[in-house]
Amino acid sequence: MLRSGTIFCYQVFPTNISFYHNILLKAVQEKDFEAVKRMVDFFAKYNPTFINLTESSSQNTALHLAAETGFFKVLHFL
């Protein structure tokens, strides 16, 4: 049992980075700035090319999607 205030983090990484890229794109679509920021900050350190990955069917990046949906806060951040 964890004491109050304890931070517990457990994560299993799939072998394919596209799993996380799809989550990033969904966060952009849902206009969830905090989720986008956390993912970009994390992957910038461990996989810098993550932010430039393209969606397989449209070849759009998160930046393209942010512009398309008018998510200016993320657009500026990216």
Least Cα distance to 13 among 37, 46, 38, 40 occurs for 46
DSSP state of 15: S
How does pLDDT run along the chain (78 residues), one tens digit per residue? 556 676 666 566 666 788 888 889 999 999 999 999 999 998 888 888 888 999 888 899 999 999 999 999 999 999
Q: Could you tell me which of 49, 77, 42 has the C-alpha nearest to residue 63?
A: 77
Full-model pTM: 0.76
Instruction: Report angle CA 14, 69, 50 to the nearest 5 degrees.
Output: 30
Residue for token pair 């952009």: 28
